[in-house]
Chains A and B, each alone.
Chain A
Amino acid sequence: MSEQTPKFKVTIDNITIEVPAGTTILNAAREIGGDVTPPAMCYYSKLEGSGGKCRTCLVEVSKGSEKDPRPMPKLVASCRTTVMDGMEVKNMTSPKVVEARKGVVEMQLLNHPLDCPVCDQAGECHLQDLSYEHGSSTTRTEFERTTFSQEDIGEYIQLHKTRCILCYRCVFAANQLTGKREHGVLMRGDHAEISTFIGKALENEFIGNVIDVCPVGALTDKTFRFKNRVWFTKPVDAHRNCPTCSGKTRLWMRGEEVFRVTARKDKWGEVEEWICNDCRFHKKQASDWVIEGPSKIDRHSVISQNHYQGAVEAQPELVNEIIGKNPKLLFDIHEVSDVNREEIDLSKINGPAHSDNFLANQKAKHERKLKVGRNK
């Protein structure tokens, strides 16, 4: 008798994959990767019990399983629904899902202050990415957004309740990482807020990790507050011999200066190893760390731009990549633009390029065509 868990075949957006029984739809989709993966704002694979709240990962189950092929009546939260053998899931290919997700994004932004220009999270914010990819470009709300009173929760962490989307990740993190949780969700409905009871400071060796799990700018690093934009700083992996945690971190540097220390995150934006407050808030000298090299950040976001050359591996060839996965960028700009012609080498044009350069070229090409025609 084999002790192995049985493998289930699941088809997500027409791509079939085999995963062990008990895997959630979201994790199966993450194994496929690309646009097949539903976005997740509250689910965090490292935090037990998280997920199901933000509703951005809703998918349509068009076939329940091989045994029971009935479709599920409602859209389901893929982060909390486990796969069945022969299940067929529609994510990007279901208009219902796209529409519902657009609605969810709209709801999440409804009372969000949209203060990205002054938000430290901007550039690595999951809500920014989500609204960019799945939301609409306008808002239909005309009402004053909900505001909360400021609350000071200690010298390291800045809390902005208005930006919070109530994903409960920080609550789970504090519950599971630290000895005792000092904050939670108070009130209910659209007045629910992350808060401490009452006016306490968050003090714990590992509490800094709530900054990393926060998908938005609700919990940010006070030692990094207004110091720099995240996309101007370069991420490098570093480690130190830390007595409390693994000491494996990511430094966000500019020149020799260490602006910020965070945990290392994988491509889903999830922390690989939790780090302690000492590493995060107090070791702000390059000499404190052994620098391993530039970090690879593989995220479709501003945060992965402008990094050291070679830090990001060469992308696989487009043809291989698009098989069912990436429907974006399927045309070549040269084919649709009259200006960016391939035959024009801009480096050979003397001085700045002028429209005549392109016109002349087109004229010549046109004549050439005529000539060919005449010769025939």
Chain B
Amino acid sequence: MKLLLENAHIEGIRYYEIYRKHGGYRAAEKALKMAPDEIVEEVKKSGLRGRGGAGFPAGMKWSFLAKPEGVPRHLVCNADESEPGTFKDRYLMEFLPHLLIEGLLISSFALGSNLTFIYIRGEYAWIVDVLEQAIAEAKTNGWLGKNIQGTGFDCEIHVQRGAGAYICGEETALLESLEGKRGNPRIKPPFPAVQGLWLRPTVVNNVETLAAVVPIMNIGGEAYSKIGVGRSTGTKLISACGNINKPGVYEIEMNLSVEEFIYSDEYCSGIPKGKKLKACIPGGSSVPIVPANLLFKTAKGETRYMNYESLSDGGFATGTMMGSGGFIVLDEDQCVVRHTMTLARFYNHESCGQCSPCREGTGWMYKILKNIEYGKGKMSDIDLLWDIQGKIEGNTICPLGDAAAWPVAAAIRHFRDEFEWHVTHPEEAQTRNYGLAHYAEPLSTVTV
């Protein structure tokens, strides 16, 4: 079932007329007739969870928004999608800009935000134009600006480009950057719901979360909550990449099994050249990597599904996280050490440098991983890496420290033999950069 990308294939859907013709702004029409609290209630009922990575219930987040008298409130759309492996928001904004604008309008109305921002990743330069054109179109058609559709509600949406920092995807760093300051994460509390943008109550939501408000208004919160399974309601965009036949953005219902997602022709269509699956990072680069033997079945032997609960089943020991839906598949020829080094380099480069464990620790981890990868490592380096990641995790201001520590921890936890091979075979490690951990029990190719 497709809710967000239902009309994505239609030519010219990014323009207002065609979007409107295919049922666009119907949800907004409906919402503007409702009381703001009713919309919040509807979103709560839908069980929509934040699609940015943490999976915090969106309705709950909205209800935390402080509403002091005479203080303006703001809604900020977090479009700073910089996680390696995640590109679902880019697709959504590029092809369905009006869906986001409609979602933003409904959400702004529900939260009472007259000034709403889209903070977009600086590298998405062409999408800024797409969004700005869509905003202009919406404005000429009376969906933005003053007295929207005669309801007396005013709303302006501004697009603000970031300057290329991953850390600005963290909500408080995003607000700092939006205020024109250096994008350092703030120390919480106070949370943005109380003191956010310019110390005013602010809600920061991911692009997909805000876009999902549109189908919720269309079909009703109750119906939306019936899609999916358990507390993972609705549909989720998954951006699949890596060693798969059909990389791309897929909209899935969250009762789809991981096995089906990788091997079915409707989705990734299996791994090229009939190679075996080695490991997978199911939620963007910062979630722990899982080896193939734990990917399809949980440690308890249950089938693993593409949803928040099932993917995190077993904790970090045998599970992983849903994250932002950046699904990265590694086949048997990929080297986990090299892969982990690449991620460590990314986090080293993107650490803001505010708190010491992350600032120094990420660089240290990268240097050690580089040594191991290029055959200069020692056995003790692996234990040292484990120790460093433990000293970073949980001891930093923002989750970037955790995000830097988890991939390293998981790689060592599941692929220690590969790290050890790099240490014991330095010459081979220098010349041959692919993996070696083949499993005792070969995994059969599944056809669905």
Contact = CB atoms under 8 A, between A and B. Distances in A.
A241 interface: no
Contact of B355 (A54, A140, A143, A146): A54
Interface string B161-194: 0000101000000000000001000010000000
Given A52-B187, A74-B394, A188-B353, A107 B359 contact: yes
A99 B390 CA distance: 10
A58 B393 CA distance: 13
Contacts of B348: 189-190
Contacts of B350: 188-189
A245 B219 CA distance: 68
Nearest to A110: B360
A143 B361 CA distance: 13
Nearest to A187: B353
Given A103-B357, A108-B360, A58 B395 contact: yes
A21 interface: no
Contacts of A146: 363
A124 interface: no
A53 B391 contact: no
Contacts of B352: 188-189, 192
Nearest to A191: B353
B187 A55 contact: no
A190 B187 contact: no
A104 B395 contact: yes
B361 to A, nearest CB: 6
A103 B359 CA distance: 13
A190 B359 CA distance: 5
Contacts of B349: 189
B395 A189 contact: no
A185 interface: yes
Interface residues of A, number: 34
A96 to B, nearest CB: 10
Given A188-B167, A190-B351, A192-B353, A53 B397 contact: yes
A51 interface: yes
Given A55-B356, A166-B359, A143 B364 contact: yes
Interface in B332-350: 348-350
Interface string B365-409: 001000000000000000010001011101111000000000000
Interface string A29-55: 000000000000000000000011111
Contacts of A184: 182
Contacts, number: 93
B147 interface: no
A55 B359 contact: no
A100 interface: yes
Interface in A177-215: 184-185, 187-192
Contacts of B357: 55, 103-104, 107
A141 interface: yes
A107 B361 CA distance: 6
B362 A190 contact: yes
A165 interface: yes
B198 to A, nearest CB: 15
B354 interface: yes
A131 interface: no
Most buried by B among A52, A55, A99, A146: A55
29 contacts: A51-B187, A52-B397, A53-B354, A54-B355, A55-B356, A75-B394, A80-B187, A103-B357, A103-B395, A104-B356, A107-B356, A107-B359, A107-B364, A110-B360, A110-B361, A111-B360, A143-B364, A146-B363, A166-B353, A168-B354, A184-B182, A187-B353, A189-B348, A189-B350, A189-B352, A189-B359, A190-B353, A190-B359, A192-B353
Interface of B: 165, 167, 182, 187, 348-357, 359-364, 367, 384, 388, 390-392, 394-397
Given A54-B355, A111-B363, 20 more contacts: A55-B356, A75-B394, A103-B388, A106-B391, A107-B356, A107-B391, A140-B384, A141-B364, A143-B364, A143-B367, A146-B363, A166-B354, A185-B182, A188-B353, A189-B349, A189-B351, A190-B351, A190-B362, A190-B363, A191-B353
